[in-house]
Chains A and B, each alone.
Chain A
Amino acid sequence: MLWYKSLREIRTVTLVGAAAMAAACVLIVFYQQAMRASADASMTYIAYIWKSVYNSIGRDIFLILSIILGSGGLLQERGHGTSGFTLALPVSRRHIVITRAVMGYCGVLIIASVPVLAVPMASRYIGEYYPVAQTCGFFALWAACGAVFYGFAFLLAHRLEGDYIAVLLAIPSLMLYGLLINLPWLARLPMLNIFHVINGEDMPFFNEAQHLLAAPFPWLSLAVMLAVSATFILLAARRIQPLDF
C-alpha cells in the first residue's frame, strides 16, 4: 500500500497539472487562427501546433510539472513531521524511495499523455487535422526527457530539505545546463541537448520543413535518458539510507 500513499501525495499536482495541460492544448488549438495570423500567416497548422505545444507553452508546463512532481520524498516528510510514521512502517527506506519515485514518474507520464488525445481531438473539433502518430511520438520524447528532469529534481529533493528548495534549485540548474549545452564543443553532440531532443529541433529524426517527426526514432537516446533518470533515483535512495531522522 505504499503506492497508495505516494499516489495521494502526487494526486493533486498530477490532476491540476493534467487539467492545465489539457486547457493549454485546447486553448492553443481554439485560438489558432488569431495566433497564426498575428505571428506568421503562412505557417501551417502542423507547424503552429509544434511551435505552440511542443516547442513552447506545452513543453514548458510539462517540464515545470515534472520538476514539481520530483520534489517530494522523505526529507519533505520530515519537514511535515510525518517521516516518523513512515519510517516506523515495516518496509525498507529503499522501498519507500523507489515507490515514491515510480508513482511520481507515473504522474509525469499522465501529464505527458494529455496532448496525445487532447490535440488531435480539439483539432478535429475545429476542422483541422493533427496526426495521433505525431502526438504519440512526442509523448515518447516527453516521457524520456521528462524523466531526466524528474529524476534530477527527485535527487535534489533527497539531498535538500524544504518544500520548494528542490524546485527552486532545479529550475536554475536546468537553465544553466541549457546555457552550457550550447557551448561550441558541447554543441557538436546534439543528442546531449535534452531541450532539443524533447521537441526534435535540429534532430535527424525531425523533419524541419514539415515540422513532423520522421523515422528512425532515437530509441537508444531515450533509453539512455531513462537510465540517467533511474541513476538519479538510485542515488537518491542511497543518500536516504544512512540518514538520521
Chain B
Amino acid sequence: MIPDRVIQTCELTKNYGSFRAVDHLNLSVRAERITGFLGRNGAGKSSTIKMLLGMIQPSSGSGTVLGYHIDDPKQSIEIRRRIAYVGEDKGLYGYMTVAELIRFTRSFYRDWQPDTERRLLAEYRLPPKRKVKALSKGMRTKLALLLALARHPALLILDEPTEGLDPVSIEELLQTLVSAPANGTTVFFSSHQLSEVERIADDVLMIDGGATVLDMSLEQIRENYRRISLGFSNPAPQLQSILGVEKMRCDGRQISILASSNADAIAQMGRDRGAVDIDVSPVNLREIFLETVQERNRQDQQRHLEREDALV
C-alpha cells in the first residue's frame, strides 16, 4: 500500500560544519504525480535527495519515504528496495559491460521486469557487450534510467536527469517520465531546466537556502500567479503589501508586482492609488523562479563581497 504522500519531511536539516545546506525543510510529495524539485546551485537539492536515500545523515529533523523513516538504517534499506535513483553524475561501474551491469542490478530486485528491460534496451539502442566506461554520457544516462525503470519502482528520484543530454535524448527522457505515473510510479526530479519542469511536472517544489520557498501544483501556479504592472502619471506611490503580493519592485513611474493570488484585488488597489495603466498577465515558472531567488542571490553576493573586503 503506497501512502498518499510518498515523501514527507519535517524540519529536516543538514549542516556541513558551520554551513547549513538544508534548513528545517518541510516538504511533501504526492503519490503518482511528477514533482519538479527546483533551486539554485547549492540550494540544498542534492543534499535533500541524499538524505532521503540514506546516503547522508540528517543533522536534525525527520523524514519518511513511502512511510519508512529515512534515519533508520533498516528502514532505509526498504526505501532503497522500493525506489529507484538516478544520480547527478550517473556514476556506474565502468569496468562492467551493459549486460553485466543489468544482470548485477537485477539481482537486487525481486520485481524486476524483463519485458521492460528488453524494451528499453532496444528503445535506447544500448549495446549490451560494450563496457560502461566506453558509453557516452547520454548513453550512460539511458542505462541508468533503464536500471531504474526496469524494477518498476514506486518512486523514481532523479537528480538533474537531463544534464549533458542532447535534445533528442532529452525528449525521449521526458516522454518516459511523463508516462511513469500511469504505471504507478511517482517521479521526483531535480532540474535547472525550468522549461522541462513546466512541461512535465504536476507539482513544483522550489527551495532556496535549504528551505522551501514554493510548494504548489503547476495548475495552481498557472491559475493564481500573475504579473501586475501598474503605470502612474506621477512617480509611483508607496503601496502596502497585501495578501498575495510576493514581490514588488518600484521603478520610477512603474510598479511591478508578482502576485501568488488575489490579482484582482491588487489591481484594484493600484487603480485606487491612481494607476493609469494596469496590466495583469500570467507568468511562467522561469519568472517565478528568478523573482524568488534573485533577491537572495543579491544578498549572497553582497555578503560575499563584504567578506572579501573584510579579508583585504
B-binding residues in A (CB < 8 A): 1, 4-5, 8-9, 80-85, 87-92, 241-242, 244-245
CB contact between A89 and one of B73, B80, B91, B96 (< 8 Å): that residue: B80
Closest chain B residue to A93, Cβ basis: B73
Residues of chain B with a CB closer than 8 A to A89's CB: 80, 105, 108
Residues of chain A with a CB closer than 8 A to B56's CB: 244-245
Closest CB-CB distance, A197 to chain B, in whole Å?
Answer: 36
Residues of chain B with a CB closer than 8 A to A87's CB: 53-55
**How far is it, in angstroms, between the C-alpha of A61 and the C-alpha of B183 when the chains are bound?**
56
CB contact between A84 and one of B78, B81, B91, B94 (< 8 Å): that residue: B91
**Of residues 268 to 290 in B, which have CB atoms within 8 Å of A's CB atoms?**
none
B50 and A245 form a contact (CB under 8 A): yes
Residues of chain B with a CB closer than 8 A to A5's CB: 93, 104
Closest CB-CB distance, B130 to chain A, in whole Å?
Answer: 16
**How far is it, in angstroms, between the C-alpha of A245 and the C-alpha of B53 when the chains are bound?**
11
Closest chain B residue to A78, Cβ basis: B91
A-binding residues in B (CB < 8 A): 16, 50, 53-57, 73, 77-78, 80-81, 84-85, 87-89, 91-96, 100, 103-105, 107-109, 144
B91 and A81 form a contact (CB under 8 A): yes
B73 and A8 form a contact (CB under 8 A): no
Q: How many A-B residue pairs have CB under 8 A?
A: 64
Closest CB-CB distance, B140 to chain A, in whole Å?
Answer: 11
A8 and B91 form a contact (CB under 8 A): no
Name 22 A/B residue pairs within 8 A (Cβ), A-sorted.
A1-B107, A5-B93, A81-B89, A82-B92, A82-B93, A83-B91, A84-B85, A85-B87, A87-B53, A87-B54, A87-B55, A88-B53, A88-B84, A88-B85, A89-B80, A90-B80, A90-B81, A90-B108, A90-B109, A91-B77, A242-B57, A245-B56
B77 and A90 form a contact (CB under 8 A): yes
**How far is it, in angstroms, between the C-alpha of A70 and the C-alpha of B33 when the chains are bound?**
45
Closest CB-CB distance, A210 to chain B, in whole Å?
Answer: 46
**How far is it, in angstroms, between the C-alpha of A87 and the C-alpha of B92 when the chains are bound?**
12
**How far is it, in angstroms, between the C-alpha of A80 and the C-alpha of B132 when the chains are bound?**
13
Residues of chain A with a CB closer than 8 A to B107's CB: 1
**How far is it, in angstroms, between the C-alpha of A80 and the C-alpha of B95 when the chains are bound?**
12
Closest CB-CB distance, B36 to chain A, in whole Å?
Answer: 21
A91 and B92 form a contact (CB under 8 A): no
**How far is it, in angstroms, between the C-alpha of A90 and the C-alpha of B57 when the chains are bound?**
17
Residues of chain B with a CB closer than 8 A to A9's CB: 95
Residues of chain A with a CB closer than 8 A to B73's CB: 92, 241
Give 9 nearest A-B pairs by CB, closest first.
A81-B91, A1-B107, A90-B81, A244-B56, A84-B87, A82-B91, A90-B80, A88-B85, A81-B89
A82-B93, A88-B80, A90-B81 are known; give 16 further A-B pairs, CB within 8 A.
A8-B100, A82-B91, A84-B87, A85-B87, A85-B92, A85-B144, A88-B53, A88-B84, A89-B105, A89-B108, A90-B78, A90-B80, A90-B108, A91-B77, A91-B108, A92-B73
**How far is it, in angstroms, between the C-alpha of A31 and the C-alpha of B103 when the chains are bound?**
47
Closest CB-CB distance, B185 to chain A, in whole Å?
Answer: 16
B95 and A244 form a contact (CB under 8 A): no
CB contact between A4 and one of B84, B104, B109 (< 8 Å): that residue: B104
Residues of chain A with a CB closer than 8 A to B89's CB: 81, 84
Closest CB-CB distance, A223 to chain B, in whole Å?
Answer: 31
Residues of chain A with a CB closer than 8 A to B104's CB: 1, 4-5
Residues of chain A with a CB closer than 8 A to B96's CB: 8
**How far is it, in angstroms, between the C-alpha of A8 and the C-alpha of B55 when the chains are bound?**
24
CB contact between A244 and one of B57, B92, B103 (< 8 Å): that residue: B57
**How far is it, in angstroms, between the C-alpha of A81 and the C-alpha of B135 when the chains are bound?**
15
Closest CB-CB distance, B173 to chain A, in whole Å?
Answer: 18
A84 and B77 form a contact (CB under 8 A): no
A85 and B93 form a contact (CB under 8 A): yes
Closest chain A residue to B84, Cβ basis: A88
Residue picked from A1, A82, A84, most chain B C-beta under 10 Å = A84
CB contact between B55 and one of A1, A82, A84, A91 (< 8 Å): that residue: A84
**How far is it, in angstroms, between the C-alpha of A86 and the C-alpha of B88 when the chains are bound?**
14
**How far is it, in angstroms, between the C-alpha of A88 and the C-alpha of B92 when the chains are bound?**
11
**How far is it, in angstroms, between the C-alpha of A158 and the C-alpha of B81 when the chains are bound?**
25
Residues of chain B with a CB closer than 8 A to A80's CB: 91, 94
Residues of chain B with a CB closer than 8 A to A245's CB: 50, 55-56
Closest chain B residue to A11, Cβ basis: B95
